[in-house]
């Protein structure tokens, strides 16, 4: 396939593992980068082999040589800049969450459909063999009847000045990490009768960050009767990105769902026997960029498209309402 020509919005830390390295491995071209700080953009381009720097985000999304935009900006800027890229006729690979709230997510989805462009939410874990194997195990009957799914996404607290603690930029543990927990539960719901229903949610505001959730726990129930937990914390003692499926015969656990290069194990315990499967340390971001490129070039379907993003945001909003933390606001216009 012809190399995908990508423009990068901003010079965020996530860009190196999420788009720079995958582009090198897949042969995609990083055509341009733009950042609010031009010196930072220049440094990013030199360090990562980006072909050129544009003067602004606006110039980048309008660049005729750029065919796809990677959007790793702060949460509150995902929706507005996704819309700007769509209006310019670009395909979009956007970091999660897709938008700040359900209404904004639906606006982005509808705009992409009307423009005939492809927008993918960057749930990279969904394309790695670790998650694919967890799906096989869940559906294969080895565990017996599945009775519970637990997804826990936790990190130590970022500095207070981090935009993830900004309510104006749609920050919060559920937006940054819980979106993965909900998405993983929804993905496994395909084998448990469909998407789970939110039963209860509780959380706590982070000290010094009014309106921003430090942690949230969401209790779920699947149509099959299985229960679920979609938990997240941005104030944990250590990193934990685990997914556990419990059945009447035993259980399976992915030890690091979001970063298989750090730990690609799945442990399966049936009765008194336990085995460890290793699924490979190739990055999930590389699998993701390959899937995005095929989708743009060849069409077909993809599991993390705009419709899926809308359904995930529907659950995020429900969690925020039930927990009492309040919905994230739409950022507004961008320039």
> Which CATH architecture best describes the domain 5-123+286-304?
3-Layer(aba) Sandwich (3.40)
Residues of the chain with CATH 3.30.360.10: 129-281
Give the chain's residues under pLDDT 70.
333-335
Instruction: Report pLDDT digits (tens) over 133-157.
Output: 999 999 999 999 999 999 999 999 9
In angstroms, rounded to a whole number, what is the distance separating the alpha carbons of residues 20 and 112?
25
Residues for the chain: how many in total?
Answer: 335
φ/ψ of 15, rounded to 5, equals -65, -35
**pLDDT tens-digit map of 42-58:** 999 999 999 999 999 99
pLDDT in tens, 225-276: 999 999 999 999 999 999 999 999 999 999 999 999 999 999 999 998 999 9
Report pLDDT for 335.
Answer: 56
CA dist 127 and 283 (Å) reads 10
129-281 topology per CATH: Dihydrodipicolinate Reductase; domain 2 (3.30.360)
Give the 3-state secondary structure of residue 282. Answer: coil
Mean pLDDT of the chain: 97
Q: Residue 144: which region, alpha, beta or left (left: phi > 0; alpha: psi -120 to 50)?
A: left
**Residue 4 Rama label (left phi>0; alpha psi -120 to 50; beta):** beta
Confidence (pLDDT) at 1: 80
Residues of the chain with CATH 3.40.50.720: 5-123+286-304
Q: What residues contact residue 161 under an 8 Å CB cut-off, 6+ apart?
A: none
Residue bearing tokens 């379907």: 301
Residue 69 near residue 296 (C-beta atoms within 8 A):
no
């Amino acid at each position: 396939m012809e190399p995908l020509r990508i423009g990068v919005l901003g010079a965020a830390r996530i860009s190196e593992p999420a788009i720079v390295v995958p582009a090198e491995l897949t042969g995609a071209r990083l055509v341009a980068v733009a950042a609010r700080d031009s010196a930072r953009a220049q440094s990013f381009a030199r360090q990562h082999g980006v072909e050129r720097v544009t003067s602004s985000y606006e110039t980048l999304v309008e660049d005729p040589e750029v065919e796809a935009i990677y959007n790793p900006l702060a949460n509150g800027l995902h929706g507005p800049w996704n819309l700007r890229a769509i209006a310019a006729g670009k395909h979009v690979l956007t970091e999660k969450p897709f938008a700040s709230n359900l209404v904004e997510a639906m606006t982005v989805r509808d705009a992409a459909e009307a423009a005939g462009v492809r927008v993918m939410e960057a749930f990279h874990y969904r394309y790695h063999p670790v998650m694919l194997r967890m799906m096989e195990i869940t559906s294969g009957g080895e565990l017996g009847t599945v009775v519970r799914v637990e997804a826990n996404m936790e990190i130590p607290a970022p500095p207070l000045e981090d935009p993830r603690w900004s309510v104006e930029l749609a920050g919060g543990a559920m937006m940054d990490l819980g979106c993965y927990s909900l998405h993983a539960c929804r993905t496994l719901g395909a084998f448990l009768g469909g998407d789970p229903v939110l039963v209860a949610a509780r959380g706590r505001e982070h000290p010094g960050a009014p309106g921003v959730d430090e942690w949230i726990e969401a209790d779920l129930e699947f149509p099959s009767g299985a229960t679920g937990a979609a938990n997240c914390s941005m104030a944990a003692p250590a990193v934990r990105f685990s997914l556990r499926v419990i059945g009447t015969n035993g259980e399976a656990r992915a030890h690091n769902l979001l970063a298989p290069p750090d730990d690609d194990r799945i442990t399966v315990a049936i009765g008194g026997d336990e085995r460890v499967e290793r699924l490979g340390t190739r990055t999930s971001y590389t699998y993701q960029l390959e899937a995005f490129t095929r989708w743009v070039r060849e069409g077909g379907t993809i599991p993390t498209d705009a419709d899926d993003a809308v359904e995930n945001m529907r659950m995020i909003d429900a969690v925020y309402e039930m927990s009492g933390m309040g919905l994230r606001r739409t950022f507004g216009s961008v320039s």
